[in-house]
Amino acid sequence: MLRLLSATSLLTAFSANALIPPEYQEPASGFTAEVEAGLQLNTGNTESSSFNGRTKLVYDTKKAKQEAVVKAYFASDAEKTTAEKYDTQFQSNYKVESGYYFARGEGTWDEFGSYTRLYTGSVGYGFDVINRYATKLKLEFGPGYQYSLPQATDTDPAPEATKDIILRSAAKFEQRIHEYSSFTADLVSENGRENNAITLELGYKNILFQDLAFKVGMNLKYTDVVPEGSKQTDTMTTFNLLYTFQ
């Protein structure tokens, strides 16, 4: 009886190995997620705190790609809140042989910015200029619509929102420096009759462990027309830990 059971087990194992080749791997789900956060606390002569976080979700298949990003930034000192900003972005790409068509929506809530509310919707076409393992470059072009509400000032305590038709252009660059580090640069231009804006987002990522990385980021945005008393250029630098789910 024991010999019969052993022979049956060997036959079952052999059949399974025959059906599943050694090089077989489970198919990729197409879903990835990134979560990053940074916290800064100062005590003593200066008491302040700041927090920034970012979550990115991507679902990529042969025919389409869905990407959603949520960002948050908060800062305060001993007396009051000094910064509070939230960004949401969603883009859906439909792939074709020469590139992809996209639909994109963005929303910004910035209580201390030159514009407290900024909503943008756009559609267009994108394609790969360079698509190699170490170097990637994408370009996107398309029309859009933008709603922006300026910050209230002493001279204009109840400003009216601006509604504008824009042309959105974007260049997305990624360079893998070596196996454990990479550099990204995203340049976005939004040109309309009422206003123009250019945003440059830079990032350097260095992998510490398999799924954990250290990331340095910088975001620079120039807005041509801003309310009285506001600066045209906003800059934000972050130092975060990033975890990737696959």
Is 17 within the bounds of a domain?
Answer: no
Percent of the chain with pLDDT over 90: 72
CATH classification at residue 116: 2.40.128.130
Structure confidence at residue 123 (pLDDT)? 98
Residue 220 lies in a domain: yes
Q: What single letter denotes the amino acid at residue 14?
A: F
**Residue 218 sits in which domain range?**
31-245
Report helix, strand or coil for 74.
strand
The tens digit of pLDDT for each residue in 70-91 reads 999 999 988 899 899 999 999 9
Confirm whether 8 is domain-assigned. no
Q: Is the pLDDT of residue 18 over 60?
A: no
- Would residue 13 count as lying in a domain? no
Does residue 163 lie within any of the structural domains? yes
Nearest to 227 by CA among 163, 119, 109, 148: 148
Closest CA to 234 of 118, 65, 94, 76: 118
Assigned domain for 1 exists: no
Instruction: Report if residue 178 sits inside a domain.
Output: yes
pLDDT of the residue at 3: 45
What does the pLDDT look like over 122-170, one tens digit per residue? Answer: 999 999 999 999 999 999 999 999 999 999 888 888 889 999 999 999 9
Q: What is residue 46's predicted lDDT score, i.e. its pLDDT?
A: 64
168/161 Cα distance (integer angstroms): 20
Report the C-alpha gap between 19 and 10 in whole angstroms.
Answer: 14
Question: Could you tell me if 87 and 106 are in contact, meaning their C-beta atoms sit under 8 angstroms apart?
Answer: yes
Distances (CA, A) of 7 to 2, 4, 14, 19: 9, 5, 11, 18
Among the listed ranges 15-24, 73-82, 94-103, 147-156, which one has the minimum average pLDDT value? 15-24
Q: How many domains does the chain have?
A: 1
| pLDDT one-digit tens code per residue, 177-209 | 988 999 999 999 999 999 999 999 999 999 998
Assess if residue 145 is contained within a domain. Answer: yes
Nearest to 217 by CA among 207, 203, 233: 203
Closest CA to 172 of 127, 239, 133: 127
Measured CA to CA, the distance from residue 12 to residue 15 in angstroms comes to 5
pTM of the model: 0.84
